Amino acid sequence: MPETQSTPEPFVSRTAPEAIDDLRTRLRMTRWPDAPEDVGWSLGTDLDRLRELVAYWADGFDWPAQEAALARLPRFRTLVGGLGIHFVHARAVAPAGPVLPVVLSHGWPDSFWRYSKVVSLLTDPGAHGADPADAFDVVVPDMPGFGYSDRPTGRPLSSIAVAGLWAELMRTLGYERFGAAGGDLGSHVSRYLALDHADRVAAVHRTDGGLPVFAGDPATLTREERAWFAEAATWTATEGAYGAIQRTKPQTVAAALNDSPAGLAAWIVEKLHAWSDGGIDHAFTRDEVLTNITIYWLTGTIGSSMRMYHANSAIHAEQLTRRVEVPSGFSVFRGDVVRPPRAWLERTANAVRVTEPERGGHFAPFEEPELYAQELRDFFRPYRGESGAV
């Protein structure tokens, strides 16, 4: 039943055995497509690799064990803006100084799963060989239509709307001032938190600058910026078909992906492979990949997650070109896609810190949790005294 109150309540997901039985039956009944010989990943998901993954998903993957592991995170649900929002809320352990609350916003195709490895690194840095003075209170919400949060029943919500929900959520949790961080869609949400709630956001950290949108005189762009625009256009033409579908006709593909777990896996696995540093085998274990996909399957959220692309496509150009004046940090990981030059980051934001970590890709908090956690510790350290509770 939907929540009727705004007081956070503890949440534990419990999957009915019959849901797992249905999933396994569907996996075993997959009607496989053909594929040219030796095509590998060049036309999309490698069919041989997908067959191996699906076979393991059907007969080897232990979802109850993964569900129990996720349950060790302090998870809650509460009503925000009329929607039930699921989130992790972990408080700093034995802090040695001012505690900065930080809200971490995930992207697509994932959920709170993206940050599941970094929570303890941020709340208890002393236990991981870092300075206890760098402890955070950590909030990791599932966006509406993702994971265990409610799916909007009306118009899908844009990143601007989600930023407004997160501002309300942080106030509900007692945080008047806080830091924001994110990547992918979460980078957009964090950006709008800094733009529309600048009086409450101490600083904002992002792992990308989004795809370039520019309304000024092209002659003012640096050579590096022009090269990046060309790179982004090439990437969109060769790798961006998924985005075009999700911006325009998400319901068409949702009918297939919500019915076929093998199809859902193909749609998500291809992005995990293409966007991670070194490919899927280097970045993730099979269990990690399938935990992410199984969350999508059991919650039935692939369609609602894609609809956020449609909502974002309606954001007006003047919103996309606003400059962020809140102190901004960027960690542009080596293996990420469409990596912006520093000149562009400084043009679009008050970029006080830009780093290029040598390892990690689009899913850096999951691929390289220790490195990502240190990036956040280093960036937010000067802003700890600017946080406060209601």
Of the candidates 46, 134, 137, 184, the residue annotated as catalytic is 184
Cis peptide before 64 (omega within 30 of 0): no
How many CB atoms are located within 10 Å of the residue 259 CB?
10
- What residues form DSSP beta bridges with 179? 102, 203
Output the six-digit token pair for 115. Answer: 């940050």
**CA distances, 334 to each of 240, 287, 368, 382 (Å):** 20, 25, 12, 25
CA trace torsion 381, 390, 184, 351 (10° rounding): -40
In contact, 163 and 196? CB cutoff 8 Å = yes
Helix ranges (H only) for 95-179 are: 119-123, 159-172
Say which amino acid occupies 359.
R
Query: Would residue 196 show up in a list of annotated catalytic residues for this protein?
Result: no
Query: Would residue 184 show up in a list of annotated catalytic residues for this protein?
Result: yes
Read off the DSSP letter of residue 207.
S
Residue 257 φ then ψ, to 5°? -70, -30
CA trace torsion 165, 167, 170, 175 (10° rounding): -170
**280-296 exposure pattern, b = at least 16 Cβ within 10 A, e = fewer:** beebbeebbbbbbbbbb
Grouping H, G, I as helix, E, B as strand and the rest as coil, residue 323 is coil
- Separation CA 369–CA 78 (nearest Å): 27
- Separation CA 27–CA 29 (nearest Å): 5
Nearby residues of 158 by Cβ (< 8 Å), 6 or more positions away: 308, 311, 312, 314, 315
DSSP 34-75: P--TT-TTTTSS-HHHHHHHHHHHHHT--HHHHHHHHHTS-E
Of the candidates 89, 106, 197, 362, the residue annotated as catalytic is 362
- Range list of β-strands (E), 188-243: 201-206
Of the candidates 309, 336, 372, 383, the residue annotated as catalytic is 309
Grouping H, G, I as helix, E, B as strand and the rest as coil, residue 221 is coil
Query: Would residue 336 show up in a list of annotated catalytic residues for this protein?
Result: no
Residues with active-site annotation: 184, 309, 362
